[in-house]
Amino acid sequence: MKLHILGIAGTFMGGVAALARELGHAVEGSDQAVYPPMSTQLERLGIDLRQGYDPAHISPGCDQVVIGNALSRGNAAVEHVLDHGPAYTSGAEWLRDNVLPDRDTIAVAGTHGKTTTTTILAWLLEAAGRGPGFLIGGVAEDFGVSARVGQGREFVVEADEYDTAFFDKRSKFVHYRPLVAVLNNLEFDHADIFPDLAAIQRQFHHFVRTVPRRGRLVVNGEDPHLAEVLAMGCWTPVVRFGIDPVPGVALDWQARLLSADGGAFEVLRSGTVVGEVRWPLLGRHNVMNALGALAACDAVGVDVASVLPALSGFRSVKRRMELLGEAGGISVYDDFAHHPTAIATTLEGLRARVGAGGRIVVAMEPRSNSMRLGAHADALAPSLALADAVVFLHRPSLEWDAGAVVGALRGEGVAVPDADALLANLQAMARTGDHVVFMSNGGFDGAPRRFLAMLRGE
């Protein structure tokens, strides 16, 4: 079968493309914005990428068009598909129909940490000899790809609550019908499609309804919003994980931090120490991600103690506090930041690692739909409290004033109109010993690597 994928450079749709290619389909695709790391992966797979949504990019011989949720009515390619009648589907439906049948699906949901948790889980299952398939919303460093079919029974999927397609406004994760569902956390996000937190909770409850009685719900026991979801009705055994005790909540899986930066911790099951982890990841939030993944492994019969050593060499995902390099004594990181909570927890981990004397400089692009709508504007300055300096990219298209955010920062702050001005300010500001973190869930005009090249005099 020949497929054309609209929105192919997105992390999810790029994974669908990789799976389709592995299954033997001919795959081509188009997107408005094509940038690494997904473009690099697709080019390496020999998939033909076309810039823009020109209907002419869809080859006449395509048997099916897979449409990403970023496209809506009025898009030229969408209108062409509807007018000319080729079969079309969504990425989530394609995955359900072509990959998930006869597999034990483990779906990882939550506002934060989905990508990292999914990757940890796939890595642990690999260490257990399970040969899992997976679809991750980023390129996993240890696998070198974002998706593979796998030879084992388990398939791990990053389960997004964002809507499915222009013709299906349900959350993508309701299509997966997992045996095990990991609920990492739940906060308000996606302000472009959800009016409030309660609307997101309803979608999470729809997801909970799809998990069978013989399956397992692995739930963050510290999260009150998830507790409210389960209170709507639950028909599946629940396993809870957490670090800090919660009154009235029994934590089945718990971590005891051995270092402030989250680089070392003990894993406990029902109060008994299972083992110890020392790994390169930073932050309390990543310890929570690991606990969720370990509990999910246990749910499918993996001996957790036997796979804990695999975490010592775990390399995570590109663009999740990825250290791009160092030059002139300055460390440069690329981080896929999209929400104030994620920004704050990431900086907490870095601050614990570098200590009070290390300067943290953040280059911030408010790129997600919620960020651009201003839904998180009031929380941005507090989330950046641990940064010593912030260069805030305020593009002309941003409809709210970044001045209030910059003015409320604890440290030095400046707003700039474009990436060139941002790089110029960073170059003037950064000094030996600094840790410069680029935070954006978009391409950021290639600024992280451009800055590193500038430091190297390239």
Q: For residue range 147-161, what is the model confidence (pLDDT) as tens digits?
A: 999 999 999 999 999
Q: Which residue, among 8, 24, 9, 220, has the nearest Cα to 111 in the 3D structure?
A: 220
Domain 322-455, architecture per CATH: Alpha-Beta Complex (3.90)
pLDDT tens-digit profile, the chain (458 residues) = 999 999 999 889 999 999 999 999 999 999 997 777 778 888 888 898 999 999 999 998 899 999 999 999 999 999 999 999 889 999 999 999 999 999 999 999 998 889 999 999 999 999 999 999 999 988 888 898 999 999 999 999 999 999 999 999 999 999 999 999 999 999 877 667 788 999 999 999 999 999 999 999 999 999 999 999 999 999 999 999 999 988 989 999 999 999 988 899 999 999 999 999 999 888 888 999 999 999 999 999 999 999 999 999 898 776 777 888 899 899 999 988 767 888 888 888 889 888 878 899 999 888 766 566 555 667 787 888 888 988 988 887 777 777 777 777 777 888 889 999 999 999 989 999 999 999 887 778 889 999 999 999 88
Separation in Å, CA 339 to CA 162, 179, 190, 262, 264:
15, 29, 10, 21, 26
- CA gap 439, 31 in Å, rounded: 23
Torsion of CA 442, 448, 449, 451, to 10 degrees: 140
pTM (two decimals): 0.81
Domain 2-94, architecture per CATH: 3-Layer(aba) Sandwich (3.40)
- CB-CB contact of 103 with 95 (8 Å): no
Contacts of residue 375, Cβ cutoff 8 Å, sequence gap at least 6: 188, 189, 191
- CB-CB contact of 115 with 336 (8 Å): yes
Using the Cα atoms of residue 154, residue 159, residue 165 and residue 169 in order, give the sign of their dihedral: positive
- CB-CB contact of 449 with 443 (8 Å): no
- Domain ranges for the chain: 2-94, 99-313, 322-455
- CA gap 209, 217 in Å, rounded: 11
Assign a CATH topology to domain 99-313. UDP-N-acetylmuramoyl-L-alanine:D-glutamate ligase (3.40.1190)
- The reply to whether 99-313 shares the fold of 2-94 is no
